[in-house]
């Protein structure tokens, strides 16, 4: 109370003493601040300057010479144009469908793998399976898509050899719009399930072994233990991961889709990020594509806040 | 303890399923390898699953090795990996050391501003225009500077630095050491394993990076291996395959397979030995989440 009145009475003196305090602090840790200068510059230039660049979304066109402040402001016209365009529903729909399929088919895969691994008794077998199933994670996306492409070759490509077994005609897999989603999701599972199982294995190792002992006494078999101890034990992890995944539902793997997509598959493969790339970088509609990107970023950010809020409620786990 | 019949069935099914997991993980690579050494004509006609190579040749590898673009791609990638990872580790260590000092004035504000960038950013187009305005388009800098700090890795490193006892740092200060000395002589040597993890993560990211060069590089002599591979594997330009007039069409497919093997081999060869570091990193990351 006393301090507060002092503050109110002598603002001038407080100000100087605060400045003195900051100066003292800066001097005391001067080497730390010197260290942080490149870090701060890095974030200002490469993270915050592009955020300022987002103002372009409300302008008619971008001029590198004039900069943003001189540009002509057009309010939300770019957004309206996007909402009214033919592509709007297509890319929103594709982004969401691809995400939802990935969740439905891709999300359970690492959990199942972790559960299988958890039941292995021989340690060497477990670590062998782990080593091999983690391997695809380190293959670059260019190689994965390159493999998909060579496997789809009309002559002697693996996928068409398999089709041949069923007396089906060879097809150009990467040019078939109905094949894009299955190929994308299956190859994602192949590449990512092993690696993603690590976090669930960690959760599994946190389950109290006494629970298993006790249930054995009660005559529970391995299957019963799986249902009543193991699964409930890792449920919190599963819930958090699922909520986070749902928070990223408007995100898609830009580089993989860009590599996989061909013009005939745009109907199923064109998503927000690939659209932004084509319209912005390739066609030079900078302000329009910035608007589309900003819209996507805002939706993502809100979804993430929502996901974090829910996860805090459900699990008292928060992202930050 | 004696196991019941049901337990045996359970174990048997589990083992079979996991053997299947190994097979699925390995098969594509085996297929690619066997195809790369198969006879080109047999490869196109055979319609086999390539559990064994069909015929034998090593010409495809000769073609790949005599392809100048692959050489320069490899060398460029090597440069980006080494220089990029070096800058990454230095910058991330600076950030992690500075922001792990609890008594730092303004620490909370800086942390908030940095964390925010993980969840929201300017996006592709404003970033591209910025890099262009900085004159980094079509220069090696674009491969190194714009991604100097991965915020997620920074958070992992900061958490690790926080576990270095404050008393150690205080006593070094009393002995007259400045913060640079403390970072390089005390904190980093104590965090060797996290440093190894970070180094591997950054290095793999650089090795596999495809979007950065695609967006920012224009000249072929700057292309890393991933872009060269895209041209060979996905865009299928015969010119970049090194398949001149003397190469038949047939061997083209073998060359693709050989390219995949050669570009993937380095990581696959060292991976089993450093696997535990990667797993350690994934676990720290998971705890962080």
Q: Is the pLDDT of residue B42 over 90?
A: no
Same domain? A131 vs A279: yes
Q: How confident is the model at residue B243 (pLDDT cuts 50, 70, 90)?
A: very low
Average pLDDT for A73-95: 92
pLDDT of A264-314, one tens digit each? Answer: 999 999 999 999 999 999 999 999 999 999 999 999 899 988 888 887 887
pLDDT of A26-80, one tens digit each? Answer: 888 999 999 999 999 999 999 999 999 999 999 888 877 777 777 788 989 999 9
Is residue A103 less than 8 Å (CB to CB) from chain B? no
Q: Which domain holds residue B18?
A: 1-57
Q: Which residues of B165-185 are buried (b: 16+ CB within 10 A; e: fewer)?
A: eeeebeebeeeebebeebbee
* Residue-wise DSSP of B40-96: HHHHHHH----SS-SS---HHHHHHHT-HHHHHHHHHHHHHHHHHHHHHHHHHHHHH
Q: Which helix (H) or strand (E) holds B242?
A: none
Same domain? A139 vs A52: no
CB-based contact A32 B283, cutoff 8 Å: no
Residue B62 inside a domain? The answer is no
Contact call for residues B243 and B213 (beta carbons, < 8 A):
no
* Residue-wise DSSP of B200-212: HHHHHHHHH--HH
Predicted interface score ipTM higher than 0.90 = no
CB-based contact B126 A290, cutoff 8 Å: yes
Q: Is the pLDDT of residue A10 over 80?
A: no
Same domain? B2 vs B30: yes
Same domain? A134 vs A8: no
Same domain? A219 vs A294: yes
Report the C-alpha gap between B110 and B149 in whole angstroms: 15
Contact call for residues B39 and B45 (beta carbons, < 8 A):
no
Tell me the CB-side half-sphere exposure of residue B20, using CA atoms within 13 A: 8
Residue A320 inside a domain? The answer is no
Same domain? A106 vs A232: yes
pTM exceeds 0.80, yes or no: yes
**B45 Cα to chain A: minimum distance (Å):** 6
Chain A residue closest in CA terms to B10: A222
Report the C-alpha gap between A39 and A33 in whole angstroms: 10
Q: Which domain holds residue A46?
A: 2-58
From A285, A234, A35, A287, select the one nearest A117 (Cα to Cα): A234
Give chain B's domain count. Answer: 2
Contact call for residues A270 and A89 (beta carbons, < 8 A):
no
**A296 Cα to chain B: minimum distance (Å):** 9
Mutate to test the interface with A, among B110, B121, B126 (most CBs of A within 10 A): B126
Same domain? B170 vs B214: yes
Q: How confident is the model at residue A15 (pLDDT cuts 50, 70, 90)?
A: low
> In which residue are the tokens 């398949």 written?
B243
Contact call for residues A266 and A175 (beta carbons, < 8 A):
no
CA distances from A123 to A130, A259, A309 (A): 11, 39, 39
Give chain A's domain count. Answer: 2
Report the C-alpha gap between B258 and B62 in whole angstroms: 9
Residue A155 inside a domain? The answer is yes
Is residue A161 less than 8 Å (CB to CB) from chain B? yes
Look at residue B235 in the predicted model and tell me its pLDDT. Answer: 78
What's the CATH number where A114 sits? Answer: 1.10.3720.10
Average pLDDT for A94-103: 94
Q: Is the pLDDT of residue B48 over 90?
A: no
- All residues of chain B having their beta carbon less than 8 Å from the beta carbon of residue A252 are none
> In which residue are the tokens 């705890």 written?
B287
Same domain? A113 vs A253: yes
Same domain? A94 vs A11: no
Is residue B141 less than 8 Å (CB to CB) from chain A? no
Residue B245 inside a domain? The answer is yes
Contact call for residues B10 and A222 (beta carbons, < 8 A):
yes
CA distances from A300 to A92, A241, B105, B143 (A): 13, 16, 32, 27
Same domain? B183 vs B268: yes
Name the most confidently modeled range: A221-230, A303-312, B11-20: B11-20
- Could you give phi then psi for residue B155, rounded to 5 degrees? -65, -40
Contact call for residues A48 and B116 (beta carbons, < 8 A):
no
Look at residue B246 in the predicted model and tell me its pLDDT. Answer: 46
Final residue belonging to a domain, choices A11, A27, A58: A58
CB-based contact A202 B286, cutoff 8 Å: yes
- Could you give phi then psi for residue A59, rounded to 5 degrees? -120, 165
Same domain? B80 vs B47: no
């Amino acid at each position: 109370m006393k301090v507060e009145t002092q503050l109110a009475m002598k603002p001038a003196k407080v100000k100087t003493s605060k400045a003195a305090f900051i100066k003292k602090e800066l001097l005391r840790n001067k080497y730390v601040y010197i260290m942080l200068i490149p870090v701060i510059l890095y974030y200002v230039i490469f993270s915050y300057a592009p955020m300022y660049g987002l103002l372009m979304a409300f302008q008619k066109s971008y001029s590198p010479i004039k900069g943003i402040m001189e540009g002509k402001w057009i309010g939300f016209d770019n957004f309206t144009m996007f909402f009214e365009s033919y592509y709007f529903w297509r890319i929103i729909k594709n982004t969401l469908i691809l995400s939802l399929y990935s969740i439905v088919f891709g999300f359970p895969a690492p959990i199942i793998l972790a559960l299988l691994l958890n039941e292995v008794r021989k340690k060497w077998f477990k670590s062998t399976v782990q080593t091999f199933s983690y391997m695809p994670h380190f293959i670059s996306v260019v190689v994965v898509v390159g493999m998909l492409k060579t496997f789809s070759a009309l002559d002697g490509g693996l996928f068409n050899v398999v089709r041949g077994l069923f007396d089906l005609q060879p097809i150009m897999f990467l040019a078939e719009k109905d094949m894009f989603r299955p190929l994308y999701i299956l190859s994602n599972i192949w590449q990512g399930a092993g690696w993603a199982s690590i976090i669930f294995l960690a959760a599994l190792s946190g389950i109290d072994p006494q629970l298993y002992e006790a249930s054995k006494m009660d005559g529970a078999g391995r299957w019963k233990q799986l249902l009543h101890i193991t699964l409930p034990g890792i449920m919190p992890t599963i819930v958090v991961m699922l909520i986070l995944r749902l928070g990223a539902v408007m995100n898609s793997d830009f580089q993989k889709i860009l590599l996989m997509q061909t013009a005939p598959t745009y109907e199923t493969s064109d998503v927000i990020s690939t659209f932004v790339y084509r319209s912005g970088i390739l066609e030079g509609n900078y302000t329009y594509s910035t608007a589309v990107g900003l819209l996507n970023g805002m939706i993502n950010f809100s979804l993430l806040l929502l996901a974090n809020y829910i996860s805090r409620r459900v699990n008292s786990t928060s992202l930050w | 303890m004696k196991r019941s019949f049901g337990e045996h069935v359970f174990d048997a099914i589990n083992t079979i399923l996991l053997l299947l997991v190994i097979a699925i993980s390995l098969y594509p690579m085996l297929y690619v390898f066997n195809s790369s050494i198969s006879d080109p004509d047999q490869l196109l006609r055979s319609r086999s699953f390539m559990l064994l190579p069909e015929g034998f040749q090593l010409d495809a590898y000769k073609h790949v090795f005599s392809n100048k673009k692959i050489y320069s791609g490899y060398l460029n990638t090597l440069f980006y990996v080494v220089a990029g990872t070096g800058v990454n580790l230095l910058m991330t260590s600076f950030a992690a050391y500075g922001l792990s000092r609890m008594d730092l004035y303004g620490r909370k504000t800086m942390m908030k501003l940095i964390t925010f960038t993980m969840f929201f950013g300017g996006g592709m187009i404003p970033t591209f225009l910025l890099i262009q305005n900085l004159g980094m388009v079509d220069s090696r800098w674009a491969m190194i500077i714009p991604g100097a700090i991965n915020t997620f890795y920074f958070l992992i490193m900061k958490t690790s630095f926080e576990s270095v006892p404050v008393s150690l740092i205080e006593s070094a200060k009393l002995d007259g050491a400045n913060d640079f000395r403390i970072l390089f002589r005390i904190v980093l040597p104590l965090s060797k394993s996290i440093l190894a993890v970070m180094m591997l993560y950054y290095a793999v990211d650089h090795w596999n990076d495809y979007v950065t060069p695609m967006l920012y590089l224009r000249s072929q002599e700057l292309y890393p291996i991933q872009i060269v591979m895209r041209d060979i594997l996905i865009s299928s330009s015969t010119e970049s395959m090194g398949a001149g007039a003397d190469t038949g069409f047939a061997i083209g497919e073998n060359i693709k397979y050989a390219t995949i093997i050669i570009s993937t081999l380095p990581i696959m060869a060292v991976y089993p030995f450093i696997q535990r570091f990667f797993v350690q990193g994934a676990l720290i990351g998971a705890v962080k989440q």
